[in-house]
Amino acid sequence: MPSLPAKAFHFVDASNWPAVQQEGLCSTDELLRRGAFDTEVEASVRAHRPEGIALPDGRYIRDQRPMPPRALARCLDPGLAPADWYALLNGCVFFWLDPERVQRHRAALRGRPQVLLTFDARALAAAHEAVSHVTPFNIGSAVRKAAPRGLRTLVPLAQWQAKAWASEALTGQAVRAASHRPAELVLRVAAVSDAMRHVTATEVLGAA
C-alpha cells in the first residue's frame, strides 16, 4: 500500500506571510471572498493570469504562465474547458511532495521574496483527510508535452492509499505503477486555518 512522503512543502509570497501566520493558508477563492473586491479585480483573478496580481489588500496571487488557455485546452479531458480548470485550482490549497520540484519552483520564484514552509505531510493530511488528494504530476503546468488531466487526476488520498493510481487512468489506458510517487498533496478546501500547526521548518528566501 503506498504511503504519503513524510514532508510537504509550500511557498508563501513574502507579502502574504504575516496573514498566513495569523490565518493559515487560503485558496485563491477564499482570498477573493474575504477581500470582497470589485468585479474587475475578481474577474482578472479568475481568468488566466499571465502575470501575478497584487490585490487591493496587499496580498499577492501568483501567475499561471505555465497554463496558457490554448495549451491547457489540448490536455483536458472531454467536457472540461480551461475556465473549469482554473476554477478548480482556485478552490484548492497545494503542497509539493517532491523535493526536486520544490527546487525547480524555488528557482522560478526568484523574482520575489518567499517563505518556504516544510510540513509534516502525514499529520497535515490526517487533519484534513476528507479533502486530501494526491496528483501524479504538477497539475498547474500545461507546457512541454503536458499530461492529459481531468477531475480524475486529483485522487482522494484514502483511495490512493488503497488502490494507488487505479482511478486516475482513463478507461482502456494503462494504470500508473503503484511505485509512481505523488507530485502534490492537494486540499480541496477554502482555507487551511491550522496550517501553521503542522509546519516543521521555515526558510526565508530573499528579504521577507
Give the pLDDT confidence of 57-109 residue by residue, as tens digits.
999 999 999 999 999 999 999 999 999 999 999 999 999 999 999 999 999 99
Give the model's confidence band at 124: pLDDT under 50 very low, under 70 low, under 90 confident, else very high.
very high
Residue 124 has which C-alpha cell?
Answer: 497535515
Q: Which of 142, 140, 182 is nearest to 160 (CA)?
A: 182
pLDDT at 206: 85
The contacts of residue 81 (CB under 8 Å, 6+ apart) are 73
pLDDT at 207: 63
For the chain, the domain total comes to 1
pLDDT at 51: 96
Question: Are the C-beta atoms of 45 and 38 separated by less than 8 Å?
Answer: no
Higher pLDDT, 1 or 153: 153
The mean of the pLDDT values for the chain is: 96
In a domain, 1, yes or no: no
Bridge partners, 187 (sequence order)? 93, 132
Give the model's confidence band at 14: pLDDT under 50 very low, under 70 low, under 90 confident, else very high.
very high
Q: Which of 1, 8, 2 is nearest to 124 (CA)?
A: 8
Average pLDDT, stretch 160-187? 96
Bridge partners, 8 (sequence order)? 119
Does residue 176 surpass a pLDDT of 60? yes
In a domain, 126, yes or no: yes
Does residue 32 surpass a pLDDT of 80? yes
In a domain, 81, yes or no: yes
pLDDT at 33: 96
Print the domain residue range for 98: 7-205
> What percent of the chain shows pLDDT beyond 70?
99
Average pLDDT, stretch 141-152? 94
Residue 86 to residue 193: CA distance in whole angstroms: 23
Distance between terminal CA atoms of the chain? 40
Give the model's confidence band at 208: pLDDT under 50 very low, under 70 low, under 90 confident, else very high.
very low
In a domain, 2, yes or no: no
Q: Is the dihedral of CA 163, 197, 113, 52 positive or negative?
A: positive
Higher pLDDT, 37 or 207: 37
Residue 173 has which C-alpha cell?
Answer: 489506458
